[in-house]
Amino acid sequence: MSGPGPARRVTVRVPAKVNVQLAVGAARTDGFHDLANVFLAVALYDEITATPAASLQVTCAGPGADQVPLDRTNLAARAAELLAARYGITPDVHLHIDKDIPVAGGMAGGSADGAGALLACDALWSTGASRAELLEICAELGSDVPFSLVGGAALGTGRGEQLTSLALGAAFHWVFALADGGLSTPTVFREFDRLTPDAAPPQASPDLIDALRSGDVVALAAVLANDLQPAALSLRPSLADTLAAGAAAGALAGLVSGSGPTTAFLAKDAESAAEVAAALRGSGTCRSARVAVSSVAGATVLRPGPSQR
Ligand code: C5P
């Protein structure tokens, strides 16, 4: 096809995230918690394809697809509706999610689908929305959604949606141990409140930001921290066995990813990551294990919309 015209189909690829620091404060009056949340985007991806349709429809394929809601609670559907409402468009679009990010795993898979659908619909409809407008809609969709759009490495403050980009000195090699079933993020935060009645105001760790900037994997391993980990372990005690198996297999450090139940292990290099993943797969403490590198770009259009033709 040549020349401008409506795109028939736009596909966007969006990465998962790992939190290398997740500092959590006390519950706010709006129910959210103030965070100091250091995100890295990792090379595990969902792909969202937007195609014009008679009405708004969401489909999903891939591991765990049967656990993904296909109604208006899906962040991809919400993203299409919010963008359409803002530009006076009817959101007649079919959003297909090719899922590879663990579902309800603490790796921002739902947020990735929201950011991906937003970018795909924006390209499909040629709204001309600015990056700032897209980020505003992302923040409305959820606390982790702006990071899914931006990717790379960033500190999230407020409820996690106010982003500051961070410098990264090197690629890091991660292993993710996938657990059976998900953990509900609100439930994990409620457990945090129960376990931590006097939570201090969250602060980003200067040592962690230095380790990221210098690319020093040993220094980074020493300061990985997730305040939600005790809550996730309290709700899912078997995760302690997975963490122990990763440590025994030679990971430099391990932690629960976000609100879990995925656990993340930092490895010295790609070879060590492959060894840790193999050992975890054989340990009987997780469903499977994946390796992935950080950091990677955020939501990216793969199949061009009209503006790229
Ligand atoms: O923002 P998002 O919709 O992803 O948040 C899901 C849930 O996680 C919230 O309803 C809230 O229970 C909890 N949450 C929180 N504080 C944050 C982010 C999320 O308590 N900063």
Distance separating alpha carbons of residues 260 and 22, to the nearest angstrom: 12
Among 89, 2, 80, 94, which residue's Cα sits nearest to residue 308? 2
Choosing from 46, 113, 144, 227, which is the catalytic residue? 144
Backbone angles phi, psi at 20, to 5 degrees: -85, -25
Q: Are 221 and 177 in contact (CB under 8 A)?
A: no
Among 271, 265, 268, which residue's Cα sits nearest to residue 283? 265
- Ligand 1 atom at minimum distance from 189 CA: 20
- Decide if pLDDT at 78 tops 60: yes
Give the count of beta carbons closer than 10 Å to the beta carbon of residue 287: 15
Average pLDDT on 86-104 reads 96
- For ligand 1, atom 2, the nearest C-alpha belongs to 142
- How many whole angstroms from 215 Cα to the centroid of ligand 1? 30
Distance separating alpha carbons of residues 252 and 272, to the nearest angstrom: 10
How far out from the chain centre does Cα 25 lie? 20
Average pLDDT on 275-297 reads 97
Predicted TM-score of the model (pTM): 0.94
Distances (CA, A) of 124 to 2, 43, 113, 307: 16, 25, 16, 9
User: Which residues contact ligand 1 via a Cβ below 6 A?
Assistant: 31-33, 35, 142-144, 159-160, 185-186, 189
Give the pLDDT confidence score for residue 6 in this predicted structure. 55
- How many whole angstroms from 142 Cα to the centroid of ligand 1? 7
Q: Are 45 and 17 in contact (CB under 8 A)?
A: no
Confidence band of 7 (pLDDT split at 50, 70, 90): low
- Decide if pLDDT at 249 tops 80: yes
- Between 156 and 304, name the one with better pLDDT: 156
